[in-house]
Chain A
Amino acid sequence: DAKTTQPPSMDCAEGRAANLPCNHSTISGNEYVYWYRQIHSQGPQYIIHGLKNNETNEMASLIITEDRKSSTLILPHATLRDTAVYYCIALSSNQFYFGTGTSLTVIP
C-alpha cells in the first residue's frame, strides 16, 4: 500500500497561497492521489484528486510531479476558514489510509 508523508504543521498568512506538500514515493501507476481536510472534529471533506495531470477545481489546485512521487495542494487565497488538518491519501485497493496529515493554520 502506498504511504504518504506530510509535514506535521504549516502556517500561512491570510490571503496568501497555501502550498501543502506530500510525498508518495511508493505510489503505483494506477493509484489516485486524494486530498481531504478535516476542520476541528467535523467529518473529512473532499478537496480534490488526481492521477497524473494537474487538476483544479473551485477549492484548490493539485500539482503532481511527472514521476508521481510527490504532489502539492495549493489553496490560492487562504482564508481563516481554511484552518484545518489536510490529508494526502493514495487510494490503494479501494481503501483510504489516512496518515497524520498537515495541520494548516491561517494567520490573520
Chain B
Amino acid sequence: DTAVSQTPKYLVTQMGNDKSIKCEQNLGHDTMYWYKQDSKKFLKIMFSYNNKELIINETVPNRFSPKSPDKAHLNLHINSLELGDSAVYFCASSQPSGGQETQYFGPGTRLLVL
C-alpha cells in the first residue's frame, strides 16, 4: 500500500492555466505538507496543515492555494500558471510527537509550464 500518493505524476500545461495536484496519505497522520523542488534541486517547504488547519505558509505567491477537505488529503491548486512554477512538487505527512516529526514523502508531481 502506498503511504503518501500524489496525482498526477506528470503535468504539462500552458501558461495562464489553472491546475490542481492531489495528495492523499493513509498513515493516519495529522499533519501534511507541500514542498517545491526547483531545477537546482533545492527542496523548500511551501505549506503545512495540521488537522485541516493551515499552520505554515511560507512566502508563496497567492496563486497557490492549498485545500484540505479532510486530514488525509491536502490538495494544491495553482492559478494562472507561470513558467517559473515548473518544478517537482512533493507532498508529505507526519505525526508530530514530543519534538520528533518523521515526514513521509510522496513520489512527486512533475509540473512543466510551457
A interface residues, Cβ below 8 angstroms from B: 30-32, 34, 38, 41-46, 49, 51, 85, 87, 91, 94-98, 100
Contacts and interface: CB of A to CB of B under 8 A. Distances in A.
Contacts, number: 54
B107 A43 contact: yes
Interface residues of B, number: 26
Nearest to A34: B102
Interface stretch (B11-19, B40-48, B62-70, B71-79): B40-48
Contact of B99 (A30, A85, A98, A100): A30
A100 B92 CA distance: 19
Given A46-B104, A49-B102, A41 B88 contact: yes
Given A95-B56, A98-B42, A98-B43, A46 B102 contact: yes
